[in-house]
Amino acid sequence: MAKPELDIKKILIISAVAILVVISGIIFYNNYRIKALNEEFSAKLLVMNKEILGSINSMQQDLDSEISSLRNNLTLKIDVIDTGLASFRKKNEQEIGALNSLIDEIEKQSDIKLNELKDEISTIQVKSTDFSAIIDDVVQSVVSVGTNKGQGSGAIIDDRGFIVTNYHVVEDSSIIRVLTYEGKVYDAALIGYNDLADVAVLKVNADLESLRFGDSDDVRVGERVIALGNPAGLSFTVTEGIVSAVHRPGPNGLNIYLQTDVPINPGNSGGPLVDANSRIIGLNNFKISGFEGLGFAIESNAVEQISDDIIEQYLQQTGQ
């Protein structure tokens, strides 16, 4: 009876051991599987992380590229706009400049036409009567030139106070003063001269009414003219005559003289010879002694060129 119990116990023990072995095997297998799954998951997670990081890097690169492209496009567009604005501004400035030039030209032409109309009216008045119609205007621009050596006459040729006269009137003078028709006296400075042509330009610090030059090449023999000046100290005297010849040679060998029958007396030198249009056509210069009606005036074209050169050089030197 004792053996069966022993066999049962053995069976139970063997069964228990077998169960333990099986359970241990199951646990070991499960642990192995869990470890393998963990490793597989970790590997997959690592791959996923790499893929995600790669995607993020790629997206970042794409984003940076898009931003750079947008920035370049924006810069290009800004440059195009700036260029367009600069071109528009330049064109606008050019158009404004052209408009201003056109306005200045219109004003200039208007002034010229107005002056021409005034000249025509004056000419009509002179031709219908005599020179009395222009005397009041012309004499305002004639001055008496006094120096410590003597005296002569001059003509105002620029509103800024430039006066033309003969060089021999002011030569070697230390004091030069001019007297206007209105009785005002100004100290004058000799700013330049041409001793061969006997032309000098004076400058006073005053705004004065000027005469304009005529074209001496248009002067005709027989044309009536007037000489203005201060002969023998008789201020602002007017004498009338005609042009006897043109392009006469002078003592200096220059063919730049108008011959007239207008009396030229001491004090007349440097005064203007004026035509019926109130234009300076000559600068009274000298007469031949012993003969009446043989006066000579330097032609206006020569006087104008010399005086313009002197004034231009003076303005450049003084920065005006």
Choose the catalytic residue: 122, 144, 153, 168. 168
Choose the catalytic residue: 122, 144, 153, 198. 198
Active-site residue 247, yes or no? Answer: no
State the sign of the Cα–Cα–Cα–Cα dihedral 288, 267, 202, 219.
negative
Which long-range CB contacts under 8 A does 187-194 form with residues at least 24 apart? Answer: 188/145, 188/163, 191/162, 191/310, 191/311, 191/314, 192/309, 192/310, 192/311, 192/313, 192/314, 193/167, 193/310, 194/167, 194/306, 194/310
**DSSP per-residue string spanning 195-262:** TTTTEEEEE-SS-----EE--GGG--TT-EEEEEE-GGG-TTEEEEEEEEEEEE--TTS---EEEE-S
d(CA 289, CA 292): 8
Active-site residue 198, yes or no? Answer: yes
217 is written with which tokens? 């090449």
Active-site residue 144, yes or no? Answer: no
Choose the catalytic residue: 153, 210, 216, 269. 269
Active site residues: 168, 198, 269
